[in-house]
Structure formats: structure tokens, C-alpha cells
Amino acid sequence: MIDNDTLSKVLYIDLSKKKFTTRDRKDLFEKYLGGTGVATALLHEECPEGIDPFAEESPIIFAIGPLTGVFPLASKTCAMFKSPHTGDLGESHAGGRSAIAIRMAGYGAIVIKGKSELPIYLSISNGKVLFKNATTLWGMKDGSIAARVMRQNEKGEGLRAIFRIGQAGENMSTFANVTTETYRHFGRLGLGAIFGSKFLKGIVISGKQAIEVANKKEYRTLYDKIYNAATESSAMKKYHDVGTAINIKSLNSLKALPVRNLQASSTDEIEQVTGEEIAKNHLARRVACAHCPVACIHLAYLREPYDDDPYFYKTTPVCYDFELIYSLGTMVGITEPKAMLKLIDIVEQVGVDAMSMGVVLSWITEMFEKKMITKEDICGIDINWGKSNEYIELVKNIANPTTEFLKAAAKGVSYASSVYGGKEFAMQFGKNEMPGYHTGPSGYLGFLLGARHSHLDNAGYSLDQKELIKNDLSPKQVVDKLLEEEAIRQILSSIAVCFFARGIYNLNLVSDAIKLLGFDYTEDQLMELGKQIHLNKYRFKIREGFSFDKLEIPERIYETKDPTGKITKEYIKEGLDYATNLIC
Amino acid sequence: MKLAVKDAMRCVGCQSCMFACSRRSGNAGLSNTCIGVKSAGGISRGYTVVVCRSCENPPCANVCPTGALEPKEGGGVRLKSSKCIGCGMCKDACIIDAVFWNEQDNKPVICVQCGYCVEYCPYEVLELIKDKKGVSHD
């Protein structure tokens, strides 16, 4: 890498001693580029084996990549931690201004350990870390208010990122998230709970520096090539126009969209919550992550009259996308857009992973329907499919649980079903609640094999739609393709490029781009590095007790119609057995 | 020519213009940007886009104690870097915050109205318009 690039600077923060130090870790960045590669290496270094994720020594790691602040679409920050939700690898990516702010503040990674004795937030700029008292922000019911206070108290307008947790994080729900720039999230696997366990309410970080490139002329040429691809080619059009919500209609017609806890895979009532209809009737603004011209973030405005005054309205901006329409819409039987937007809004306020919350709500509904729990277990709330006001009350009660059942539910459906039953319809894979893809066996093998049990690990759902819907592939062929895709994605998340840009950033382009930052890797070398990073993640998972044998698969996936008709126990088992031999 | 904000309501906050402006110096990052895109009190309210309005009687130049900022004919200023002592008075004098600061050099960065940023705004927020004396620019 280029000698004076501050990418190799790692900021170590100790919340117990309220101290910080910066160390040069060129060794890690030269070996793993940045992002997920470096964060995985730091996790191995910093996370003691077998530690309680809420222990003082449990680390929070953020890492960005060499292309951050240099090329468009390199807008992601990788967060790494020991997940309180799964007990092994915790990894979550977010955009907003997070990555640019960390890079411009002069760091490539941040490691936070220790535990404060009182609520604090961190203010990071100009090479300093200030520990600010956040006592007054603790317990606020809407996390966005805490962010507003930090915004008003700190400098760096337009250049800063503001991370914060909500009540669910404070109460250490294992699927609590960390929100950045109001609408972006380190969503999955419970980073918010780790913040909460450390009394860390938030982080404000900003900076504004130059990044030297190896060849200024080539830099401009390559920049224009990527920028033009992002703004003019069809590669990004889907995200730019209707957004990911465009998939609702097609997945519903394919019978691949989970409905009412996957009791069905399509609904006749989809019309109003398709991406096209929401855009037509409710879309108010589109916004972008810093240094990404695509603007995929879609905000709807929800206008609600107050009951006691006919000329008094509450207007709330609500961010929506495919996953939210699935998890807080069809999965819980809501197909009326305003009802859905209201539910999304409360989920934002308490600060939890929207996918996990949707799956938790739908599992609870089915438990209640089957009389496996009582109304008292859920604080007397009369829940049923499609009833958004009752779900809103339930979300508040899961974020602040008072019954033993809701305390279990706040740890996700894997844990809750191990206590209360209902495993056969607890829609989790590797203890992580499912995303909105009942596309076929590749999708499920993808969730099960992915290092973080996310659909984004290897896009098995895409393989179902492109291949298995038409052709036969053996489980081994599917697993080979999934692992290859996962290796490529390790590189994308190490240079910290948004996965939406995967059509632009092929390994050839990546090789050219990182060369300008002084990294010399051929395409083949990048592929090998991707495989190595993936295995490094699995080394951590296995060290912390993960085993393919322990994976529990809900029976429901075999019962509900899917577009391929190929989801069988034999198929999944053969795929898993083959993957076990390759990975372990 | 003068740089102007055509329609801030179309701004998505991608900051491509800011990176373009800084990239003119050859490097990546944001150290030399003379445009500021910031949320208008939270992202849901949209963005404020700050560019130099090239004032005809520029307050930034009027307060400069060393004459490092020279008013240009037709409006705006030119920075004579060697004269600048980095006192920051120009920055304070600009009430729209359009005098930006290079932290590493500890000197102001001043828009030269080149319009490079306009080419990198995919949503037509910025424009370069003909400079006619006496015409105000929004």
C-alpha cells in the first residue's frame, strides 16, 4: 500500500479506562486489504475464545477499505463482533456516511473494548476521542432523538457519521441493531446489544483529509469509468428507480415470497405493497450513501391524522425496501401500506433488525394461534395476522420485555423456540432469522452455509431464480457455486464496496482499482484471498462452537410451495454434507 | 461563469460533487472540496448545498488581514496562498459557510467557478451559468 496512507491506522478505544491509542497495522491491511478481511483478522486477535459477547473484553470492530473515499460505491463499513444472537461470528455492513467518515478521520479500522460505568457516546475527530456523558440520552423511546442531540452537540456537518442504538440495544435484545444516518443499519446479528452492554449509546465521527493515489491521470480515468457505469449503465437502474422493492411483485408471482410465517409463498393481496405502487403513492424522497450516486434509499412519507383534532397531522418519513416489505408486511400478513409503514417506523424507533423482528412477530402469532402461549405471555395483546396496531404494541414490549416469554423472544426465534417449542415453524437458519426468499434449495443452502447466515453472503436466492427454476443442478454443483460467490464477496467487502455494485466491480476492475492505492494483486490472487478470508471466518465460528451438525432446519420450508419444487431434506442434507467436507 | 445551485430539492446527498471538487487537485478524499452538502436538519428533510456565490463585494476578502484574498472583477475572490497566514477570519466572515478549509495546509480553499463538480452531479442540482454583472444567483 502507499506509504503515508492512513488506511493502516487502527484506532483502539478502551471504554473502561477511557483511553485510546492508534497503531499502524500495515501488516494486516497489506495481507487482507481492509473491510471484512482485516476485521476478521482483528476479531481473531481481540476476541478471547469462548467469551460472553457481553463481557468487558468482547470487542467491537469497524473496518473500511482502500477504495473508501477514492472511488464511487465504496461506501460500506464492515462491523465485526462475537454475535450475542448466534454465539459465533457477528458481521454486519452499513453504508450512510459511516465508511467515508472513518476514512476521512484518518483510520482504516476501529477496535472498541471495555465497558463504561455510565452511558456515554464517543466523539471522534482530529485524531482525538472524546468520551461524552450520554446519561440523559439513555432510555429515550425513539432512537432518532438521541441522534438529533448528538448532531446538535457535535461539529462536522455533512462530513460526519452518527451511529446510535435504541431501546432494544440498551436492553440487550440479541437482534438489536446500530443505526447510522437515520436510515442505514448495522442490522444483523446484534451489534446494538453489544453497544448496550458497554453503555455505549453512540459514536460521532468526522474528518476531511486527502488520500494520495499512485497515478493521478489513471485515477481520473478509472474514476470516470466507474462513475459512468454507476450512473448510466443498466447495472444500477433497479436500485436507482423503484429500488429493491421492485422484487416484491416478481417474487410473489413466482411463489417465492414468505407470507404469514411462510405458511404461504404468495398472496392475492400484494398489489398495494409492490414497489411500484408504494413509489407511486407514498415515495417522497430518495437519498444516497456518501460517495454513491445511485441513491437507492427510498423514503415514504406517512401522514396520519390525530384523532382529537381534524386539522392536526403527524407526518413521518419512513425508509422502506424489499426486506422490510417482506418482514414487516407479508410475513406478518400486512398488505396495506400505511399499516406497514407504521410498523416499520416503530421498529426503527426501538432499533432492531427488521428482518429478525418480522420473523419473531410471525412466529409469535403462530404460537398464539396454536395456543402454545397465552395472552398473558404477550402482555394481553390480542395479536393476529395483519393487525398492525397490535404488532406495534408487541414490538414495544419485545424491546422492553416484562414477561419471561417476551424476554426469550427478544433473543430471537431459535432461542425462544428451544424453550417454548414451535421449532418446526421458527424461521431461522444458523440462528439468524430468514430473509424474504423462499426461492428454492440454493437459497436455503446459502443461508445455512454463509459465514453470517445472510442471503447476502452468497446470493443463493439468485441461483435459484437464474438456474434451478429452469435446470437441474446437483447439491454439490450448487454448493460449489455458493462458495465461489462467497469468496468473491469477501473481496468486495474487504475493499468495502456495496454489493449492489457487484455488476460493476468485477475482480479485474478491483485489481486495477487497488493498484492505484499500491496493492498489487492479480485476479487469481484476489480469488485465493477471498477463499482464505472466508475460511478465516469459519475458523472463528468453529472455535466458538459452530458446527454444521447442529444446524436446525424448520420443517416449514419443505411444506410450502416454492418456484423450483426442489426443496427436499435429501437435497439440503447432501449439500450440507459436501460443504462440511470442504470447509471443516 | 458562475457556479449556482439550480435545485437543492433534487439533491440526494451522494456528495459526488464534493469528491469531484477535491479530486481536481489530483488526489482522492475531501481535503480540497469547496462545496458543502449537508442535511437540512436530518436527512429526511433533504439537503443544503453550499457553494461560493462569488459576492461582488466579498466579505471574506474584506476581513483578510494580509490581502491573501483578492476580489476578482465580476465577483468572487482569488487566493494568494503565499500571503495567507491561516487565521481563518475569511471563514468566519462568510455567513453561508462557503469558505472551506484545508485542515492539512491550514488554509482556505476557494471555489474557482470551474464547474468540474457540475459534471459529476447526476441529478442536475448544480449548474454553471453565464455571469452577467448585476444578475443575482440563487
pLDDT tens-digit readout, B37-49: 999 988 888 999 9
Q: Rounded mean pLDDT of A35-48?
A: 98
Show Cβ contacts of residue A208 under 8 Å, excluding neighbours closer than 6 positions. Answer: A104, A159, B29, B30, B31, B33, B103
Decide: helix, strand or coil at residue A186: strand
As a three-state string, the secondary structure of A476-504 is HHHHHHHHHHHHHHHHHHHCCCCHHHCCC
Instruction: Provide the grid cell at B29.
Output: 478524499
Q: Which residues of B40-52 are buried (b: 16+ CB within 10 A; e: fewer)?
A: eeebbebbbbbbb
Bin A96: left if φ > 0, else alpha if -120 < ψ < 50, else beta: left
**Amino acid type, B43:** I
Q: Which residues pair with A211 in a beta bridge?
A: B28
Contact residues, chain A, for B46 at CB < 8 Å = 285
Three-class secondary structure of residue A312 per DSSP: strand
What residues in A contact B28, CB-CB < 8 Å?
69-71, 210-213, 219
Residue type, A390: E
> What is the per-residue pLDDT across A273-331, written as a single tens digit (0 to 9) for each?
999 999 999 999 999 999 999 999 999 999 999 989 889 999 999 999 999 999 999 99
Beta bridge partners of residue A508, listed in sequence order: none
Question: At residue B66, what are phi and psi to the nearest 5 degrees?
Answer: -115, 0
Q: Where does the pLDDT of residue A237 fall: very low under 50, low under 70, confident under 90, or very high at 90 and above? A: confident
- A138: its cell numbers: 439513555
Summarised one tens digit per residue, pLDDT across range A113-168 is 999 999 999 999 999 999 999 999 999 999 999 999 999 999 999 999 999 999 99
Q: Contact B12/A216, CB-based, under 8 Å? A: no
Q: Which of B15, B35, B124 to mutate to test the interface with A (most CBs of A within 10 A)?
A: B15
Could you give the CA distance from residue A379 to residue A364 in angstroms, rounded to a whole number?
Answer: 12
A416 close contact with B: CB closer than 8 A: no
Half-sphere exposure of A407 toward its Cβ, with a 13 Å CA cutoff?
Answer: 3
How many residues are given for chain B?
Answer: 138
Q: What is the pLDDT of residue B138?
A: 43
Long-range contacts of B88-92 (CB under 8 A, 24+ apart): B89/B63, B89/B64, B89/B65, B90/B60, B90/B61, B90/B63, B90/B64, B91/B60, B92/B63
In angstroms, the CA A422 to CA A367 distance is: 7
For range A30-36, the mean pLDDT: 98
Helix (H, G, I), strand (E, B) or coil at A446: helix
Confidence of residue A238 (pLDDT cuts 50, 70, 90): confident
Residue A482 has pLDDT above 60, yes or no: yes
- Does the beta carbon of A474 lie under 8 angstroms from any beta carbon of chain B? no
Measured between beta carbons, which residues in chain B are less than 8 angstroms from residue A69? Answer: 19, 28-30
Taking the Cβ of residue B27 and every Cβ of chain A, the question of whether any pair is shorter than 8 Å is answered with yes
Burial class from Cβ neighbours inside 10 Å (0-12, 13-18, 19+) for residue A172 reads: buried
A538 pLDDT above the threshold of 90: yes
Query: Which three cell numbers mark A233?
Result: 449503465
- Domains in chain B: ranges and CATH: 1-51+111-128 (3.30.70.20), 54-96 (3.30.70.20)
Among residues A288, A294, A225, A241, the alpha carbon closest in space to that of A71 is found at: A225
d(CA A115, CA A43): 17
Quote the CA–CA distance of A562 and B21 in Å, as a whole number. 50
Q: How far does the CA of residue B13 sit from the closest CA of chain A (Å)?
A: 6
pLDDT band, residue A64 (cuts 50/70/90): very high
In this prediction, residues A375-401 reach a mean pLDDT of 98
Q: Tell whether the model's pLDDT for residue A180 goes beyond 90.
A: yes
Q: Are A132 and A122 in contact (CB under 8 A)?
A: yes
Residue among A209, A231, A317 whose CB faces B104 most closely = A209
**Chain A residues inside the 8 Å CB shell of B14:** 288-295
Query: Which pLDDT score is estimated for A86?
Result: 98
Name the grid cell of A541: 465460528
Q: Contact, A222 vs A513, CB < 8 A?
A: yes
Domains and CATH numbers, chain A: 6-206 (3.60.9.10), 240-414 (1.10.569.10), 432-583 (1.10.599.10)
- Return the HEC string of B44-96: HHCEEEECCCCCCCCHHHHHCCCCCEEECCCCCEEECHHHCCCCCHHHHHCCC
Which helix or strand (DSSP H or E) is residue A578 part of? helix A569-583
Contact in structure between A202 and A150 (CB atoms under 8 Å):
yes
pLDDT > 70: what percent of chain B? 94
Work out the angle at residue A482's Cα, subtended by the Cα atoms of residues A456 and A438, and round it to the nearest 5 degrees: 60
User: Cell 465580476, residue?
Assistant: B74
CA angle B22, B27, B28 (to 5 degrees): 70
Q: Are A89 and A47 in contact (CB under 8 A)?
A: no
Interface residue B123 vs chain A (CB under 8 A)? yes
Task: pLDDT band for A234, please (50, 70, 90 cuts).
Answer: confident
Interface test with A, best of B23, B25, B34, B43 (most A CBs within 10 A): B43
**pLDDT over threshold 50, residue A471:** yes
**Taking residues A373-384, what's their average pLDDT?**
98
Residue ranges in A313-403 assigned as alpha helix (H): 322-327, 337-350, 354-369, 388-399
CB-closest option in B12, B25, B32 to A286: B12
Q: Residue B131 above 70 pLDDT?
A: no
Give the number of residues written for chain A.
Answer: 584
CA distance A199 to B28: 36
> Helix, strand or coil for residue A195?
helix
A45: left (phi over 0), alpha (psi -120 to 50) or beta: alpha
Tens of pLDDT, residues A546-584: 999 999 999 999 999 999 999 999 999 999 999 999 998
pLDDT band for position A256 (50/70/90)?
very high
* A423-445 per-position pLDDT tens digit: 999 999 999 999 999 999 999 99
Average pLDDT, chain A: 97
B 56-115 residues inside an 8 A Cβ radius of A: 103-104
Contact between A213 and A221 under an 8 Å Cβ cutoff? The reply is no
> Cβ of B113: how many Cβ atoms within 10 Å?
19
A53-67 in b/e form (b: 16+ CB < 10 A) is bbeeebbbbbbbbbb
Report the pLDDT averaged over residues A33-45.
Answer: 98
Whether the CB-CB separation of A43 and A80 falls below 8 Å is answered with: yes
Range of weakest confidence among A230-239, A439-448, A494-503, B109-118: A230-239
Neighboring chain B residues of A224 at a CB cutoff of 8 Å = none
How far is the C-alpha of A101 from the C-alpha of A62, rounded, in Å? 12
pLDDT of residue B132: 58
pLDDT at B133: 53
pLDDT at A466 over 80: yes
Phi then psi dihedrals of residue A346, to 5 deg: -70, -35
According to the model, what pLDDT value does residue B137 have?
42
